[in-house]
Amino acid sequence: MTGTDVKYIRQQFPILSQQVNGNPLVYFDNAATTQKPQQVIDALNNYYTQQNSNIHRGVHYLSQLATNAYEESREAVRQFINAKHTHEIIFTRGSTESINLVASSFSKKFLHQGNTVVISAMEHHSNIVPWQLACKERQAHLKVIPINEQGEIIFDEVEKFLDKNCKILAITHVSNTLGTINEIKQLINLAHAHEIPVLIDGAQAISHIKVDVQALDCDFYCFSGHKMYAPMGVGVLYGKEKILDEMPPYQGGGEMIKTVSFAKTTFNELPFKFEAGTPSVGDVLGLKEAIRFIENISYEVMEAHEHELLRYGTEKLEQLGDIRIIGTAPQKTSVISFLPGNIHPFDAGTILDKLGIAVRTGHHCTQPLMDFYKISGTVRASFAIYNTKEEIDAMIAALQRIKIMFA
C-alpha cells in the first residue's frame, strides 16, 4: 500500500483530522473501537432523516423501507462471513450480548450438573463471565486451557479438556491483549471429533481476518460492529440452523413471538426468535456500509498494511530498550501490549494522551491473563488500516520523552 492510498483512506474518517492538546490525533486504540468512515456516518444520518420507522410491523411506506433495508443488511452479513442461510444471522448489541445469548440459551438446553464448559486462559471477560454464570446456574464447571509465555494455546493440553462431560468449547479467534491469532480451525476439528460444539469470539478478528464460517465449520461466531468501522450498538451472532432451532429464546417480548395468549405463547421462526423488541435499525444499516468499506479495500490489502505496521512498531519499540512486549506469538494481528520499563502503564498512557496519542492502558478486560504474566496491566497500541508509520514514530518519540522524564 502506498502513502497516497493511506492518505485517501484517512480522508474518509472525519475524526482523524482533529487535534488533541494541540497535537495531531494519533489513534492507536483500535482494539477497543475503530473510528467510522463517512459512508457509515451518512448511513446513520440517512436512516434517521429519511427512513426512521419500526420494522416488520407496519404496512406503511417508511416501515416497508426500513424493513427492506434491515433485511438487506442481514443478507450482506451472510455473504460477508459466508453463512449458509440468512436466518442463521442474528443481530445483537455486540459480541458481549452474542456470547451471553448463547451462554444463557444453550446452557438451558444442553448444560447439566457435572458438565463442563471449556475456554482458554487468554479470553476476554465477555467470554469468561457469561459462562461462569451459566455454570453456576446449571451446577456445571468451567475449565481453562493453559497458554505458554509467548501467548499461545498449549495444544498438547487441549485433548484432555475435550471429554464426554464437555458440552461446548468457547474460544477467542484473536486475543485483544496479546494479538495472538489462534488456530481455531484446528481447535474446531479437535472439538468436533468429540462431537463438542464450538463458539468463536471473533470480536478482535473480524476487522483483520477474512472469516468464512462454513469453511471453519464453527457452530457459533460472534462479533461486534464497532470494532470493524461500524456504529456502536450492533453485533452479530452466527449460529448453525440446527442448534439455534433447538435453543430456547433468550429474551421475551415483541418480534420473537408467533402467537401470545395468557395461557400459552408460541415462538417465532429464526432469526426472529432471538431478536426480541425494537432493534437498533440505523446501526444495522451502518454495519452494512462498514462491510462495504472493508470489501472495497479488501482484506488482503488491510492485512498487508497492518502486518507491516505491526512489524515496524515492534522493531521500533525493541530499539527503545527496557521494553517488555507481552504477547510474542509468531501469528499476531496488529496489537502490541508492552511495559515501558518501570513506568506504570497508566502514567505512560496519560502522558501519551497529553501529546495527542491515544492508547489503551490497564488489564484490557483480561484480568486472569494479567495474573498469568504477573503484571497489573500494559500499554496497548493497536493499529488499523488508517494508521501510518509516521504515527508510530510519533509514539516512539513520545515514549523517549517519557523515559527521560522518569529517569
pTM here? 0.95
Q: Which letter, b or e, does each residue of 2-22 get, where b requires 16 or more Cβ atoms within 10 Å of its Cβ?
A: eeeebeebbebbeebeeeeee
Active site residue 365: yes
Determine contact, residues 182/172, Cβ cutoff 8 Å: yes
Per-residue pLDDT at 292 exceeds 60:
yes
pLDDT mean across residues, the chain: 95
131-161 confidence digits (pLDDT tens): 999 999 999 999 999 999 999 999 999 999 9
| pLDDT score, position 169 | 98
**CA distance readout (Å), 152 to 138, 148, 185, 250, 308:** 30, 6, 15, 33, 21
- Residue found under cell 479437535: 190
One-letter-per-residue 3-state SS of 117-170: EEEECCCCHHHCHHHHHHHHHHCCEEEEECECCCCCECHHHHHHHCCCCEEEEE
Domains, the chain? 3-30+298-405 (3.90.1150.10), 41-295 (3.40.640.10)
Catalytic choice (135, 166, 218, 365): 365
336-376 confidence digits (pLDDT tens): 999 999 999 999 999 999 999 999 999 999 999 999 999 99
Grid cell digits, residue 246: 433447538
Pairing of strands 323-326, 335-340: antiparallel
